[in-house]
Structure 1
Amino acid sequence: MTRVIFMGTPDFSVPSLVALANGGYDIVAVVTQPDRPRGRGRKLDLTPVKHAAVARGIPVIQPRSLRDPDAVAPLVALQPDVIVVAAFGQILRPDVL
């Protein structure tokens, strides 16, 4: 089975994640932006992609920046066959790809 890391953050990304999950791919992790305070009360809110991943039992990684080698190491350790990116919100460096 194809090992997939999915990278995305906003609502736009969720249908792609759902399609992969329903398509029988082995999604080994979801990488999304860190949770941020939102709204008037500034409550910490999960990203839409994190909501979808948690609902499906998929592990979530939320690095502040993928420029940090310590943030890239867990992705490499997962040994994905492919990384699918849909509106992630960070520029990916060659060492991630």
Structure 2
Amino acid sequence: MDKLRIVFMGTPDFSVPSLEKLAQAGYDIAAVYSQPDKQRGRGKKVTFSPVKEKALELGIPVFQPDSMRSDDVIEQLHSLAPDVIIVIAYGKILPKAVL
């Protein structure tokens, strides 16, 4: 039986343990979607979301679209051919085309 191909969507610390468990279990995580990077602090330093940091550490491609509604983003997601999309505290409204 082939491995389940997953796209993971999440942003905050709360989502990281689930992403780690999926990776440890050996699932094929095709990509991670996370909120765009934000400027934080006095120096306006750009910081990555906790999920993006973990995905990069695990060698998983990360996508950070401003919206999930554009045709290009939907086509990109479709081209990843996931069996399932796991969403944990992503923070974006998903259109019907994604659901």
TM over 0.5: yes
Quote how far apart the aligned CAs of 1:39 are: 1.1
Equivalent-residue separation in structure 2 for 1:10 and 1:72 (angstroms): 23
Structure-to-structure mapping, 1:13-24, within 5 angstroms: 13-24=15-26
Shift in Å at residue 91 of structure 1? 1.2
Runs of 4+ off more than 3 Å: none
| Partner residue in 2 for 1:80 | 82
TM-score (norm 1): 0.97
RMSD (Å), alpha carbons: 0.7
Aligned to 2:53: 51
SS of aligned partner of 1:74: helix
Stretches of structure 2 lacking an aligned partner (at least 5 in a row) = none
Task: Tell me the TM-score normalised to structure 2 length.
Answer: 0.95
Measure the CA separation in 2 of the matches of 1:41 and 1:20.
Answer: 35
CA apart distance, 1:30:
0.2
Number of the residue aligned with 1:95? 97
How many positions carry a matched residue from both structures?
Answer: 97
